[in-house]
Amino acid sequence: MALNAVEILSNSSPDYYFNTIKLIENKKGFSNPEAYTITVDSLDHSLTVTSPSGQGLLYGALSLYRPGNGKNHTDYPRNEIRILNHWDNLDGTIERGYAGKSIWNWDTPLTEDQISLYNKYALANAMAGINGTVLNNVNASPNMLNHDKLERVAEIADILRPYGIKVYLSVNFASPSVIGGLETADPLNKEVAKWWKDKAKEIYALIPDFGGFLVKANSEGQPGPCDFGRTHADGANMLAKALKPFGGKVMWRAFVYSPSDPDRAKQAYAEFNPLDGKFDDNVLVQVKNGPVDFQPREPFSPLFGGMTETPLIAELQITQEYLGHANHLAYLAPMWEEFFEEAPSDNIKGVAGVANIGDNENLTGHPLAQANWYAFGRLAWNPQLKSEDIIEEWAEMTPWLNLDETQMPEFKKMMCESREHVVDYMMPIGLHHQFAWGHHYGPQPWCEIPGARADWLPKYYHKADKNGIGFDRTVATGSGATAQYPESFANQFENPKTCPEKYLLWFHHLDWNYKLPSGETIWESLNRHYDSGVDGVAEMRKIWQNLEGCTDPDIYKDIENRLLTQHKDAIWWRDGCLEYFGNISNLKPSKLSMHTLEDMIPVELGIDNYTNPSKELLDSKR
């Protein structure tokens, strides 16, 4: 691999004072191909990075940008695959993208600006330890595999390669019939298998180190092997055989929820657990962190611990589909840290993150959402890192932030508490999926769409009535989802007395006046959390005011405005949920609401799934 760490380093040198920095490739003593060791000779101010590979040398060299790393140490990635998933479409839109249009140009010759942007993108990824990227949406256009598009993929791969980043593509399972002219896409059909083999050959002729395919099959209307009476394993293995001769991998998503069980949270496990051990060795099953869908808080998916014979990729969402899009400040590392702490991880071999990157000047919409991109990479590299350390690293390395010693703790506090505030003002104590239809911005616990799938509607999840609230997933009286977990977790989740409070209404339907160990009732606890979420955002605004001067005035103002929108949204969330649930239960919110249900219910933002609602739009609606 043509890595050039020296060149990258010499473009902008780290702060450390070293007369010489040596990079030595040496396989001896290393078992992980991407590991590196740094040794410092303090007498002559020289530093040596040693690694078995160019890739490791690059990581070692780039690690010098992180504060305090210019000392003797060794590091290595705990996961082999650390990959971004772009949900970018060929027409430039990004599904759940809130930072503008796609950075990938599929149609016209690449401009100098685009090439320079792709280089910066690659360097930012390498600095975070990311080593792969899936360029297109999992809702994949079959046209992605047309030759002209593959030539562009090859150009992009050439730019990313020096930074140690492999490209992968999402593929549409019906491609052989849609663009290949075959009558079927049945994975057991010989011509179909041959079509994929030929396609793989064509791809590898252009991109010798192509990473492989990511597949969303038989999910949300996407085609897949089940259309032909075959299993997910049949589909994945057929593709795996096409890629195998070239060293490619198949990342097969487990985000499926065909209504085979009345509880959506059980469906992926029900479909995939019986297939454990049936996949070829170059297949990884990619599982979202939670059993439903990237909610601000979910217990881990039972497929972690439930697929012991299959290598898994944990899929996280960096883009904030369910956490206020690019308007809300939500530093996501604490959420991912929680996942890595709780989920059985023996079979996790990779971590994927749905990218929050678009062509906005700052690439992520909310300037501080850059930290989520970085934190994703760092946790994929080492899931045991602490979110508060990662944010400090990021802040110290970020050229547009200048925090002095007194400001840093305040900044860290604001960032590290931000996600919990979002959980509090959106869906505390295990409530989930109370989002507005389609775009998922703002609350809609009242939502009704004639003819819609029940499990796309908030009422299916909150199940509130005059007596109580929550989804009963116990074996004793509910859907039995708790039984999908390893025994120790199953027992803990099954009993409302031992179930962690943060997951209470995820697993239990409880009376409004059910008493928590604190002595509070469910209703009181909900009120306290919603209020605390709103207060938390007010506090973040205050902290940000105190930090004025730590960044350029335009960026400061931009963040200040977004925090103001977040504050208004948090109030909207609290009022929407408490007024609605209060109306059902005949209980009064503890604080006076600023909005009435009559005001809130008719509001339609009128946005699609590709845009961040502007402050002006939101202000005009409330």
Nearest approach, Cβ of 292 to ligand GCW (angstroms)? 9
Where are any strands of DSSP class E within 470-594? 510-511
What CA–CA distance (Å, rounded) separates 105 from 87?
14
Tally Cβ neighbours within 10 Å of residue 501. 16
Nearest approach, Cβ of 25 to ligand GCW (angstroms)? 39
Nearest approach, Cβ of 508 to ligand GCW (angstroms)? 25
Nearest approach, Cβ of 255 to ligand GCW (angstroms)? 5
What CA–CA distance (Å, rounded) separates 461 from 472?
10
- DSSP letter string over 71-87? SSEEE--S-SEEEEE--
What CA–CA distance (Å, rounded) separates 4 from 1?
9
Report the residue number, 95 or 410, with the smaller CB distance to ligand GCW. 95
Tally Cβ neighbours within 10 Å of residue 552. 13
Report the residue number, 78 or 439, with the smaller CB distance to ligand GCW. 439
- Residues ≥6 apart with Cβ < 8 Å to 59: 34, 36, 51, 75, 77, 126, 129, 164
What CA–CA distance (Å, rounded) separates 430 from 437?
20
Report the residue number, 85 or 310, with the smaller CB distance to ligand GCW. 85
Point out the residues that are catalytic.
220, 293, 321
Distances (CA, A) of 618 to 189, 322, 606: 52, 17, 11
- Residues ≥6 apart with Cβ < 8 Å to 380: 77, 79, 82, 83, 129, 130, 350, 351, 353
Nearest approach, Cβ of 310 to ligand GCW (angstroms)? 19
Report the residue number, 255 or 441, with the smaller CB distance to ligand GCW. 255
Amino acid at 257: Y
Closest residue to ligand GCW in the complex (CB): 293
What CA–CA distance (Å, rounded) separates 297 from 335?
7
Report the residue number, 86 or 462, with the smaller CB distance to ligand GCW. 86
Tokens of 393: 């690293």
Report the residue number, 220 or 608, with the smaller CB distance to ligand GCW. 220
Nearest approach, Cβ of 142 to ligand GCW (angstroms)? 16
Please answer whether residues 368 and 323 qualify as being in contact, where contact means their C-beta atoms are separated by less than 8 angstroms.
no
Q: What angle separates helix 147-160 from helix 112-128, to the nearest 10 degrees?
A: 60
Tokens of 462: 């909150």
Nearest approach, Cβ of 427 to ligand GCW (angstroms)? 15
Report the residue number, 321 or 338, with the smaller CB distance to ligand GCW. 321
Nearest approach, Cβ of 578 to ligand GCW (angstroms)? 26
Nearest approach, Cβ of 566 to ligand GCW (angstroms)? 21
What CA–CA distance (Å, rounded) separates 140 from 216?
8
Nearest approach, Cβ of 138 to ligand GCW (angstroms)? 5
Report the residue number, 263 or 293, with the smaller CB distance to ligand GCW. 293
Tokens of 324: 């206020």
Report the residue number, 195 or 255, with the smaller CB distance to ligand GCW. 255
Torsion 301-305-310-314 (CA) sign: positive
Please answer whether residues 416 and 391 qualify as being in contact, where contact means their C-beta atoms are separated by less than 8 angstroms.
yes
Report the residue number, 138 or 481, with the smaller CB distance to ligand GCW. 138
What CA–CA distance (Å, rounded) separates 543 from 523?
30
Q: Which string of b and e fits 312-323 if b means at least 16 CB within 10 Å?
A: bbbbbbbbbbbb
Pairing of strands 468-469, 510-511: antiparallel
Report the helix count and the strand count for the chain, using DSSP H and E. 19, 14
Amino acid at 516: L
Torsion 288-294-296-302 (CA) sign: negative
Binding residues vs ligand GCW (CB under 6 A): 87, 95-96, 138-139, 216, 220, 255, 293-294, 321
